Amino acid sequence: MEEQIKFDVPDTSVFDDIRPRQRILSYKVKHIGEYDYKDYYYDTADLAIFNLGYSYRFRIRNKGNGIIEYGLQLKKEYNTKDSEDFKRYELDDVIPKDLGIRILAGEWEEAYSDTDLKTIKKLREFLSVNNIDYRKLAPCIIAEQKRSRFSMKRNGQLYFEISLDDCSFWPFDESNLNRVKFLQLEFENKFRVGIQREDEARILELVKFFEENYPVKIEKDSKYRKAILELLPKH
């Protein structure tokens, strides 16, 4: 199972130092790519999905070279309260371009009526169990994110991937001048099997490296959760 560790970063100088690195500890570091994301988070007016600890989003992913992908995701959001016993849950679909364009144009119910998308199937189940009317869902938050992605390998085997994220959030119905911004360093393991004792040691070693070499702090709340609490505190 993949495990993600996220650090809050005070400024972009940390990113500037990490980007040119060819090695971190005993791992060879290689640049994978630069990505631009725009996310529309859907919820009810009283944030019923958020208050259950989840998020539902529509993403526009620019992978460079003219490649644009559209996707949907249902996710359990990481938070400080449940950090010790947190069980990661993410369900994603890359969706057809024509459906993505229709959602972007406001035809949200087109996605909800698609029975072939596993994310939609699970969303229907989630909403039904929690007595949430899907017709009350609408965009509540927009996010824009620039991500630099790197692999970390040893002897040709992939152990970790690192992301350097520069992200801004703002309320859907307000000017993007009213935005909050987060800089975050994230790494996740890519172990071939479940986390073993030696893998836990590798994770701790990498955490120690970042904490000792950069002014970063482990963050237990997700960026989306922090944005909601700051932008829509009345909920």
Instruction: Read off the pLDDT of each residue in 195-208 and give the average, rounded to a whole number.
Output: 84
pLDDT digits (tens, 9 = 90+) for 30-76: 999 999 999 999 999 999 999 999 999 999 999 877 789 999 999 99
Task: Identify the structural domains of the chain with CATH numbers, from first to last.
Answer: 4-231 (2.40.320.10)
Q: How many CB atoms lie within 10 A of CB 5?
A: 17
Of 230, 211, 170, which is closest to residue 39 (Cα–Cα)? 170
Instruction: Read off the pLDDT of each residue in 104-126 and give the average, rounded to a whole number.
Output: 86
Phi-psi region of 20 (alpha: psi -120 to 50; beta: other; left: phi over 0): alpha
pTM over 0.85, yes/no: yes
Q: Give the CA radius of gyration of the chain.
A: 18
pLDDT digits (tens, 9 = 90+) for 122-149: 999 999 999 999 999 999 999 999 999 9
Q: How many CB atoms lie within 10 A of CB 189?
A: 20
Of 165, 181, 156, which is closest to residue 231 (Cα–Cα)? 181
- For the chain, what is the mean pLDDT? 89
Distance CA 163, CA 184 (A): 8
